[in-house]
Amino acid sequence: MQMRSRVPTRPGFALIAVFWIVMVVGLFAAIVAARTGFDIERSGAAVSMGRARAAADGAAEEAAFQVIGRISTGPAVVSLADLVDFVIQVDDIPVRVSIVDEDSKVDLNGAQPELLAILLQTVGVPVGDSRTLADHITDFRDEDDLKRAHGAEAAEYREANSVAGPKNAPFDTLEELGQVLGMTPKIVAAIVPFLTVHSGRSQFDPDTGPPEYKILVDSIGAAGLGAVFAPSRRRIFSVTATAELPNGTVFPRRGVFRITGDPRQPVYWLNWGVPDRELSSTTPSAASRSLTSARGPSPALFK
């Protein structure tokens, strides 16, 4: 008789093995599902942002051509007051648009130091400090190394342990004001709405510029500054277009354009980007709350 050896068995072993296999497969499926869900969600967010971006870009272009149409077909002096805040509908996306006449603003590169000092005073900088900052701005933008009476050149920046020195070249952006010795974020935010770097003029237009400019007129007259007022040429404008989707996706676009007068290319974009959140959150109306020409300076702003 042939004897067969009997292999001992472990009760439930097969069931346990199956259980672990099911767990591994389930875990793998959960990972795949989670990853797929994340990818779908990310893809949806990208689509939403793309739609908002396209709507904002389209509205900005449309707004530029609305300005051209208004100026070319309107009277010699045309009001653009209704373009300060309006809505352009792009498909089903509302885009809030604002047009500002950059040619009417004080140019950071062209303004006299005396005008800059008065503007600084009106946003709350004490008189002595405003003169110092105006000279600092002038030394920052001029090409020489000659220090003005209250100015700052490379030596003063080194003494202040500043990582940067004067640019010795014109400002390319308003954000560069933050690099000027003595400028604080509060002062920059307060003064930026009244400034531009695109007109290249030493004059500004208090009639077509921000309404708060009119507060400057008396101060400028008292200071004896001449030839700082001139009508806007109505050739350089900034546009801010903010698209918001129903799901909450928001995309802001800011550009600065020049009207060329050439029908083949009626608009030339000088700047095209996304607005700086900190600076763009301050409007001339908001900044005017700090205007103190009639009430005296606010030293707290300079701290």
Backbone φ and ψ of 87, nearest 5°: -120, 135
pLDDT, tens only, 213-233? 777 887 887 777 778 889 998
Rounded CA-CA distance 246/210 in Å is 32
- Residue 74 pLDDT class (50, 70, 90 cuts): low
Average pLDDT rounded to a whole number, residues 241-266: 94
pLDDT at 268 over 80: yes
Strands (E), 102-260: 106-107, 195-196, 236-244, 250-259
3-state secondary structure of 12: coil
Least confident of 8-17, 70-79, 160-169, 241-250: 8-17
Q: What is the dihedral of CA 268, 85, 106, 256, to 10 degrees?
A: -20
pTM attached to this predicted model: 0.75
Give 4's contacts (C-beta < 8 A, 6+ positions apart): none
Q: Which domains does the chain have, with CATH numbers?
A: 49-303 (1.10.40.60)
Give me the pLDDT at residue 36, please. Answer: 56
Give me the pLDDT at residue 177, please. Answer: 95
Which residue would you say has higher pLDDT here, 289 or 193? Answer: 193
Average pLDDT rounded to a whole number, residues 170-182: 95
Q: Is the dihedral of CA 66, 67, 72, 73 positive or negative?
A: positive
pLDDT at 236 over 90: yes
Q: Chain-wide mean pLDDT for the chain?
A: 81
